[in-house]
């Protein structure tokens, strides 16, 4: 069965934890100068309809460090869904590359590609989900705080794609999650319904008071107030989100040892102050760096039948446990 990585609703808790632990182990090996070509001769296709720094470079570096290579395709240039149908495109691209990572607007585009491709398809970002970001973020949290289970993660912002994937990642790994958002900017009803059906015993907490939301938080996370495609709402959102700016006073409501995360790029002095972003509690550069290591683990998981032996010595092997649909 072909593994895809489309959204975290498709992933088991065992597979999520396994991917995070393998990424940490891969990073440790890399820091020791051990970088075997696990995916030698494999080719990663990248189709991006949105601009990118971290996602594109981390994926290209990941496949290169694993011994493979990448082909970057601008979504507008290839005309996917314009010059030819998405099913035709998926069937043809499957003849050229071994795995396809897609950064796009409509989540349905990635679902259609996965339906018709005969290779693994990765959601490198859609308007509905950002699963690569979320699991790399949990890798950072586990590295920094030593565990995931029982920690409280508060996302300050709207119920966007990053917040949705983080809520799912937290549910899969035993973390508490809360969204601190203005009224009217909560999770979409469809996501909430699917979350509640998938995790009936886990509350999807939304707070409208950011100070109350941050009480007892181990991790404070924020994102831009207007994402790509929402620029026309920027002024309205600035007014609504002004009380939700993560500044030092708001961050002080969390635990003293709490860490701060941001998926970047940041609009300094809007959703976060430079004092926080550059401060001692911020781990945003480590967070960005870990995209590379998580995506190395993800590519191995998608393209291999089993983990390399050296990665199974310190971490229980759950590779056989889940193939995403």
Is 131 assigned a ligand-binding role in the annotation?
yes
230 is catalytic: no
- The catalytically annotated residue of 3, 22, 98, 133 is 133
**Across the chain, where does the E strand assignment appear?**
43-48, 69-74, 99-103, 121-125, 152-156, 176-180, 205-207, 219-222, 259-262
- The catalytically annotated residue of 103, 164, 262, 293 is 103
Is 53 assigned a ligand-binding role in the annotation?
no
3-state helix, strand, coil in the chain (%, to 5): 45, 15, 40
Is 133 assigned a ligand-binding role in the annotation?
yes
**Sign, Cα dihedral of 11, 13, 18, 19:** positive
158 is catalytic: no
Is 290 assigned a ligand-binding role in the annotation?
no
Is 295 assigned a ligand-binding role in the annotation?
no
Q: Residues 115, 88: contact at Cβ < 8 Å?
A: no
209 is catalytic: no
- The catalytically annotated residue of 291, 293, 295, 322 is 291
Is 325 assigned a ligand-binding role in the annotation?
no
- The catalytically annotated residue of 3, 164, 223, 281 is 223
Is 160 assigned a ligand-binding role in the annotation?
no
291 is catalytic: yes
263 is catalytic: yes
Q: Biggest alpha carbon distance in the chain?
A: 55
Is 291 assigned a ligand-binding role in the annotation?
yes
211 is catalytic: no
CA distances from 225 to 52, 136, 159 (A): 18, 21, 10
Binding site for L-ornithine: what residues are annotated? Answer: 161, 223, 227-228
Binding site: what residues are annotated? Answer: 103, 130-133, 161, 223, 227-228, 263-264, 291
Binding site for carbamoyl phosphate: what residues are annotated? Answer: 103, 130-133, 263-264, 291
Active site residues: 103, 130, 133, 223, 263, 291
């Amino acid at each position: 069965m072909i593994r895809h990585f489309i959204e975290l609703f498709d992933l088991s808790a065992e597979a999520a934890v396994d991917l995070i632990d393998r990424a940490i182990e891969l990073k440790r090996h890399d820091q020791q100068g051990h970088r075997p070509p696990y995916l030698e001769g494999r080719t990663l296709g990248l189709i991006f309809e949105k601009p990118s720094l971290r996602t594109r470079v981390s994926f290209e570096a990941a496949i290169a460090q694993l011994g493979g290579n990448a082909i970057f395709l601008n979504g507008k240039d290839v005309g996917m869904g314009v010059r030819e149908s998405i099913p035709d495109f998926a069937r043809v691209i499957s003849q050229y590359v071994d795995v396809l990572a897609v950064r796009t607007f409509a989540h349905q585009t990635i679902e259609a590609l996965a339906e018709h491709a005969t290779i693994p398809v990765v959601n490198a970002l859609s308007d509905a989900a950002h699963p690569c970001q979320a699991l790399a973020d949990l890798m950072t949290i586990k590295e920094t705080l030593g565990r995931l289970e029982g920690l409280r993660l508060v996302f300050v912002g709207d119920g966007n794609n990053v917040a949705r994937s983080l809520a799912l990642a937290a549910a899969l790994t035993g973390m508490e999650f809360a969204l601190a958002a203005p009224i009217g900017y909560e999770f979409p009803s469809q996501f909430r319904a699917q979350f509640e059906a998938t995790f009936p015993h886990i509350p999807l907490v939304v707070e409208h008071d950011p100070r109350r939301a941050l009480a007892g938080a181990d991790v404070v996370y924020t994102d831009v107030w207007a994402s790509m495609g929402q620029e026309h709402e920027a002024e309205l959102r600035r007014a609504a989100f002004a009380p939700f700016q993560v500044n030092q006073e708001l961050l002080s409501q969390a635990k003293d040892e709490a860490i701060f995360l941001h998926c970047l790029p940041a609009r300094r002095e809007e959703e976060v102050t430079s004092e926080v972003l550059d401060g001692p509690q911020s781990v945003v550069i480590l967070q960005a760096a870990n995209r590379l290591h998580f995506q190395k683990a993800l590519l191995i998981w998608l393209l291999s039948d089993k983990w390399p032996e050296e990665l199974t010595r310190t971490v229980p092997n759950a590779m056989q446990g889940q193939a995403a649909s």
